[in-house]
Chains A and B, each alone.
Chain A
Amino acid sequence: MTKLLSPAKSKVLFLGNEAIARGALEAGVSVATGYPGTPSSEVIESLAHVASERNLYVEWSVNEKVALEVAAAASFAGLRSMAVMKQNGVNVASDFLLHLTASGTRGGLVLVSCEDPGALSSVNEGESRYFARMLEMPLLEPSDFQEAKDLTKWAFELSEQIGNVVMLRSVTRMSHASGNVICGKLPVKSRKAHFEYDGSVMDSSRGPMISTPVVAKHLLHQEKLKDIEALFEKSPFNRYVGPGKPELLIITSSACFLYAEEAVEMLGLQKRVGILKLGTTWPLPPKLLEKHLRKTKKILIVEEVLPFLEENVKVLAASLVSRIGINTFYGKYDEMLPSAGELNPDIVAAALCHILKVKRKTLPANYLNDSQKAAALIPVREQTFCAGCPHRASFWNIHNAIALDGRKGFVCGDIGCYSMAALSPATGYHTMPTLHSMGSGTGLASGFAKLAQFGLDQPILTVCGDSTFYHAVIPALINAQHNRADITFIVLDNAGTAMTGFQPHPGLAISAMKEVVPAVDIAAICSAIGAKVAVSDPFDLETTGKILTSFLADKGLLKVLILRQACALSPEKKGKKIFDVKVNESLCLGDACGCNRLCTRVFRCPALTWDRTTKKAVVDEVICAGCGVCVSICPQKAIIKL
């Protein structure tokens, strides 16, 4: 039996994301959809595992907007459903979301956004809490693992009560942290789907699901939100811990609550500082806030990343000022806490020390001194493509073709493992100077290609991964073709969504639930829109190099090169070497070779290291994935396949 289906009352260690999945199961969710993105992916993954046992439909959708649409259809037909994504996914879904909040929903529909303060595994630290306010959705934020489960379950009930979407927001330190959870009951019955649409336009349970008449429906929605506010006043997910009359009141939510609690404990301030932890962060319950704001004059708001809570609390406090008087607020606006990046107990403790004029215990001076000395010895460990990664070979090819062409061509980047080519320029051999949202590489390339008229004469290349191709690249590619953009578009097809853990995508003949499904062929789509298409293996440096060079010289049209080679960590490859590779010491000229250590200094495979005593290259058998690419790059032919 999988852990996710543990019987009621059992105590299990759940990842935050598993706790969310369990909460959805306890609520009787029928349909769950999402697009993979760290730190959100495990919610859908774990539900997919139990799909047949629990009679669920679980889907990795092509992108977040479609995921939300698929989930909404289930809600319209009376089922409970959930769409799960990372923070920037909410931006992708937001156009539909605006219209969805206007039409309302039927079966409980929960939008889960797992966000990444500090961008631990993202290229942004975007916030989706503002969507809750902008689109008027109730917002829930768990601050431990039990709550992650319980709040998710409650979110479905709330959604049905209000007839609209409810948003649950988690963060990396919640989604990817684990802790004890006591399980509740799993429902026995599942609902039957039926879509009713014959009622009047204002009848939310039987009429058509549309946003018009807009103003009348908007007003109705706002009225229902007032009811939610009243429920939030009494919610057990909002708690106060601390003395009756604290010197300082901390208002916080999410993982920040745990940081605040730890900081208070660490400084021994339990008698001076109180913490109001909110599980319901929009709309704010005014009476509850008033009761606690009265307790003291000094308020510290602890949250990640933007001052969302701070702004909302201040607006509320301003409207209450005649009754509660004037408070002093500390938070992001006065720079008591950093306005970017994630928080931790140390940062919160520093703010407390500052406000309350206390000192934190420090380590002995000689220890700190020794520690600093040791720290100076530590080299950074940069992230890079794995040993045997097809992307390293692809960028090696791209770099060589651009150099050979000689017109200072460049690659517009995109989101996936291959983003590292831009983040650590050496990893992409300095070829990829732009990196934005999914699909934007192709859009930017399409734009750069139209600048010839203004004198731009550099060749334009762009890359995207296989999953990204389906997610957001297709419209940009059609734009490029239709507007005659001269670009070399390279698909780094590594047979799965490698970055987030090999979730299937529309190019594969398998679904999230492990069913056989039709695969949608990238090459066929590109040919159908009229592009010139070639396919190659990035490990075959010679053939790939020739194609790229000819593509760069072939002016005035859209060229597509699909580089196919599975990710080194893909389940079918992991731990298996294609070749056993070693350096023939008698052939390697070491420091004396005219290549100037091309293999280790420039190519940079983590398995190919430099022995500082023999002054020769050496392959680390533990790390080497056996791709064989280094064999083709050594001018001395000193690296050999056994």
Chain B
Amino acid sequence: MKRTRQKETKNLILTGVGGQGNVMASRTLAGMLVDAGYIVTIGETFGMSQRGGSVMSHLRISPDSVKSPQIPRGEADVIVALEPLEALRVLTVYGNPQVCVLSNARPAYPIGVITGELSYPSGENIQVAFQRLSKAFWIIDATSAALALGNPVLSNIVMIGALAKTGLLPIDRRMFEKEIKKTLAADKCAVNLKAYDAGGGMIK
């Protein structure tokens, strides 16, 4: 896919549940984009991210300036979710008719759902909401792909690979490879690249 340089600020929200590798994914994406010459601002709250709460990273990808680390309501361009309920949560606050959503299919149940006090929306209801509230959406089973590669935490990389394939961001495989080589050992890089490719393969 050919990358064209974007002229306006793109707002991306990466969301999931604590422990899913949200922070790693947002830093990897941001690192790739900084290398490509963009001014990237990431807003994160990871203080409580270990303990199963909702987590969110706001990425502002601008050709020229630092942006607020919090995206205004209704102003997301892209939502990437490691968990479908979290996609919906973010969509109902930051969504608009132009937003695109890429979501993992596998639910992680909130404790209130486990205890039976609350209920988790059905897959069908989630799809209908995505349909009504976004311009385009993809739901992929990233966790299964990651499990097939031996580690569920790779689902975040599967999502990055899928995101690249959607063409919503000016990123590609070469940029990804360069970025992970900075932080990961060689053996880890190989499986991460496999996860990336698996993600790409899931976007038709």
Contacts and interface: CB of A to CB of B under 8 A. Distances in A.
Interface of A: 11-13, 38-39, 116, 120-122, 144-146, 172-174, 176-180, 255, 258-259, 261-263, 266, 344-346, 349, 363-364, 367, 370-375, 377-387, 417, 420, 426, 498, 569, 575, 597, 600-602, 604, 606, 608-610, 622-623
A364 B108 CA distance: 32
A382 B113 CA distance: 10
B133 interface: yes
A38 B50 contact: no
Given A345-B72, A601-B115, A12 B92 contact: no
A172 B43 CA distance: 9
B46 interface: yes
B170 interface: no
A176 B47 contact: yes
A121 B67 contact: no
A383 B116 contact: no
Given A13-B40, A177-B44, A600 B116 contact: yes
A623 B108 CA distance: 9
B63 interface: no
Q: Residue among A145, A382, A387, A600 with the most chain B CB within 10 A?
A: A382
B113 A379 contact: yes
Q: Which 10 A-B pairs have the closest CB atoms?
A: A121-B47, A379-B118, A177-B69, A38-B47, A374-B129, A258-B68, A383-B53, A375-B92, A381-B110, A377-B121
Nearest to B130: A374
B20 to A, nearest CB: 10
Interface in B11-54: 17-19, 27, 30-31, 34, 39-48, 50-54
Contacts of B195: none
Interface of B: 17-19, 27, 30-31, 34, 39-48, 50-54, 66-74, 85-86, 88-89, 91-92, 95-97, 106, 108-116, 118-121, 125, 129, 132-133, 143, 147, 151-153
Contact of B116 (A11, A145, A179, A601): A601
Contact of B46 (A176, A381, A609): A176
B43 A177 contact: yes
A348 to B, nearest CB: 9
Nearest to B74: A363
18 contacts: A13-B27, A13-B40, A116-B47, A120-B47, A176-B44, A261-B68, A263-B72, A344-B68, A363-B97, A367-B97, A367-B132, A370-B129, A371-B95, A377-B125, A378-B85, A381-B112, A384-B52, A604-B114
Contacts of B91: 371, 374
A124 to B, nearest CB: 13
A490 B50 CA distance: 23
B45 A121 contact: yes
Given A367-B96, A417-B51, A258 B116 contact: no
Given A261-B68, A386-B52, A120 B45 contact: yes
B85 A379 contact: yes
B200 to A, nearest CB: 23
B133 A367 contact: yes
A120 B125 contact: no
Given A345-B72, A606-B52, A180 B115 contact: no
Given A178-B30, A383-B51, A386-B50, A258 B88 contact: no
Contacts of A261: 68
A145 B69 CA distance: 11
